């Protein structure tokens, strides 16, 4: 945390929270000690939390950061000359630098704090719609794997401006048909907006190739990184997109904080989204001069604590090592896939190579009934369409049961889920 030196030293010595500074190697059993919620019981059974694609749990390091902000430096940021305002501003802007480094963005001016991925996508849709970069007769491309948050904003924009929405189809194995994608691209394509990892199936999309092909027709590109931020190393310069959005709560940070990364030249060129304090330089009743990015897109008092806690979460992840996390979680998903495959009449959706989540159904058993029974055994899984109704319709289903992993899940929990499924199926069949 980037508080003033005196406060930082005092906070470091405070024994309110007891936590480790980190582990030298990725040891999930040791990591679990950082997450207080994992010690609780559900219906008298130890909690097995496998709903990380919906939201992740928070370690002591992040919880402490949130509490310390409110107890030690709570103040509104920027402009204030008093000590607390300056300390809060320093911490907030240091968090922006942490995000920049994590994404390998070129400058902090490219990092806009939002309330989450949905907020970020709506921001882009709104400013593009008023920018003149997209007009009637133009086209936007999304995919059949998208979360509703990457569908609805574009449908609204299409209705407003008379734009066509094209869809990259999903193949039977849960991957995108990139050959058809190439045929969808035309000189009228103005934006391609794709998720990095499917929240429903765990499909990892080839965003580098998708962006490369879009650039050949002059289209802008947006990557929904809500799922990828916790599982993959993200380099926005390597991906070569124009926008990248993610939510803090998917990567061990609080809810209500997110990030839109965008190329600086675009942020300078595009119009503001909301009006209010901070996003202006000068105001008169005759004319307003807008602030420079990123402040141009951060109207009003932001989620100061959330941004600082997000930085703490990213530091936590980087301390463990994102490559180590990815390797370990891949092992968990592969083991879970093997266990599920051994269950008679199970259907697993999506490709063999997936990240973060695995979705499945079992013939003759409704996913909701199975999820409810698993809950009684202490297992937290997600049931339903996962805000991906078009994807569910593509496969002729109403939803799935989804297990999604985090850095604190263990092989023991995966095996326990397999045993719980066997018990549950005996009750339901």
Phi, psi of 224 (to 5 degrees): -80, 105
Whole-number Å distance between alpha carbons of 154 and 169: 17
Q: How many percent of the chain have pLDDT more than 90?
A: 88
Q: What is the mean pLDDT of residues 258-264?
A: 98
CA distance 238 to 343: 40
pLDDT higher than threshold 50 for residue 90: yes
**Looking at the domain that runs over 322-428, which CATH code has it been given?**
3.90.1150.10
H/E element holding 304? helix 304-320
Q: Is 277 exposed, middle or buried (0-12, 13-18, 19+ CB in 10 A)?
A: middle
Phi, psi of 253 (to 5 degrees): -105, 175
- Are the C-beta atoms of residues 199 and 227 closer than 8 Å to each other? yes
> pLDDT digits over 333-352, tens only?
999 999 999 999 999 999 99
Q: CA of 249: how far to CAs of 41, 225, 226, in Å?
A: 22, 12, 9
pLDDT in tens, 355-386: 999 999 999 999 999 999 999 999 999 999 99
> Residue 193: in which H helix or E strand, if any?
strand 189-195
pLDDT at residue 282 tops 80 = no
Quote the CA–CA distance of 289 and 282 in Å, as a whole number.
5
Q: Which of 158, 211, 387, 388 is catalytic?
A: 387
- pLDDT of 338: 97
87-101, 232-246, 274-288: segment of lowest average pLDDT: 274-288
Q: Is the pLDDT of residue 15 over 60?
A: no
Compute CA distances 374 → 32, 62, 333, 419, whole Å. Answer: 21, 29, 18, 11
The full set of domain ranges for the chain reads 83-318, 322-428
Q: What is the pLDDT of residue 46?
A: 96
**Dihedral class, residue 157 (left if φ above 0, else alpha if ψ from -120 to 50, else beta):** alpha
Q: Average the pLDDT over each of 25-34, 184-193, 402-411 and give the range with the smallest value.
A: 25-34
Higher pLDDT, 329 or 293: 329
Q: Does domain 83-318 have CATH number 3.20.20.140?
A: no
Is residue 176 within 8 A of residue 169, CB to CB? The reply is yes
Cβ 227 vs Cβ 250: under 8 Å: yes
CA 197, 202, 204: angle at the middle one, nearest 5? 45
**What pLDDT, on the 0 to 100 scale, is given for residue 25?**
58
Cβ atoms of residues 238 and 104 within 8 Å: yes
pTM: 0.92
Q: Which residue has the tokens 């940070």?
A: 253
pLDDT tens track for 142-167: 999 999 999 999 999 999 999 999 99
Paired tokens of 302? 């932001």
Average pLDDT of the chain, as a whole number:
93
The closest alpha carbon to 101, from 323, 314, 324, belongs to: 314
User: Catalytic site residue 387?
Assistant: yes
100 three-class SS: helix
pLDDT confidence tier of residue 283, bands split at 50, 70 and 90: confident
Give the residue-averaged pLDDT of 27-50. Answer: 96
Contact 147, 226 (CB under 8 A): yes
The pLDDT of residue 429 is: 76
What pLDDT, on the 0 to 100 scale, is given for residue 19? 36
In this prediction, residue 77 carries a pLDDT of 95
Residue 194 predicted with pLDDT over 80? yes
Q: How confident is the model at residue 9 (pLDDT cuts 50, 70, 90)?
A: very low
């Amino acid at each position: 945390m980037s508080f003033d030196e005196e406060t930082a030293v005092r906070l470091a010595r405070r024994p309110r929270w007891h936590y480790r500074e980190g582990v030298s190697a990725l040891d999930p059993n040791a990591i679990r000690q950082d997450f207080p919620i994992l010690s609780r019981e559900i219906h008298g059974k130890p909690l097995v939390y496998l709903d990380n694609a919906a939201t992740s749990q928070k370690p002591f390091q992040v919880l402490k950061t949130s509490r310390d902000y409110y107890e030690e430096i709570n103040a509104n940021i920027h402009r204030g000359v008093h000590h607390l305002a300056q300390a809060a501003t320093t911490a907030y802007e240091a968090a922006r630098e942490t995000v920049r480094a994590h994404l390998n963005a070129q400058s902090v001016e490219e990092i806009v704090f939002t309330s989450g991925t949905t907020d970020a996508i709506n921001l882009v849709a709104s400013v593009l719609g008023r920018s003149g970069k997209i007009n009637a007769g133009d086209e936007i491309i999304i995919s059949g794997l998208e979360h509703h948050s990457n569908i609805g904003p574009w449908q609204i924009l299409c209705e407003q401006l008379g734009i066509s929405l094209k869809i990259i189809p999903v193949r039977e194995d849960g991957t995108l048909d990139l050959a058809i994608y190439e045929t969808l691209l035309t000189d009228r394509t103005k934006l391609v907006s794709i998720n990095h990892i499917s929240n429903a199936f765990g499909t990892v999309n080839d965003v580098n190739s998708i962006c490369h092909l879009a650039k050949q027709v002059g289209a802008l590109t947006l990557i929904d990184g809500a799922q990828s931020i916790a599982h993959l190393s993200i380099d926005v310069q390597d991906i070569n997109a124009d926008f990248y959005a993610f939510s803090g709560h998917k990567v061990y940070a609080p809810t209500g904080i997110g990030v839109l990364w965008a190329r600086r030249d675009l942020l300078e060129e595009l119009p503001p989204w909301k009006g209010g304090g901070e996003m202006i330089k000068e105001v008169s009743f005759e004319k307003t001069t807008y602030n420079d990015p990123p402040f141009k897109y951060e109207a009003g008092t932001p989620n100061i604590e959330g941004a600082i806690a997000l930085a703490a979460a990213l530091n936590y992840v980087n301390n463990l090592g994102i490559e180590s996390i990815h390797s370990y979680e891949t092992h968990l998903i592969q083991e879970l896939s093997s266990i599920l495959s051994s269950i008679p009449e199970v259907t697993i959706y999506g490709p063999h190579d997936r990240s973060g989540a695995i979705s499945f159904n079992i013939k003759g058993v409704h996913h909701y009934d199975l999820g409810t029974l698993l809950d009684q055994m202490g297992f937290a899984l997600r049931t339903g369409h996962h805000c991906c109704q078009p994807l569910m319709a593509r496969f002729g289903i109403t939803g799935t049961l989804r297990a999604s992993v985090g850095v604190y899940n263990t092989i023991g929990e995966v095996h326990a889920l397999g045993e719980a499924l066997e018990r549950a199926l005996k009750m339901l069949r």
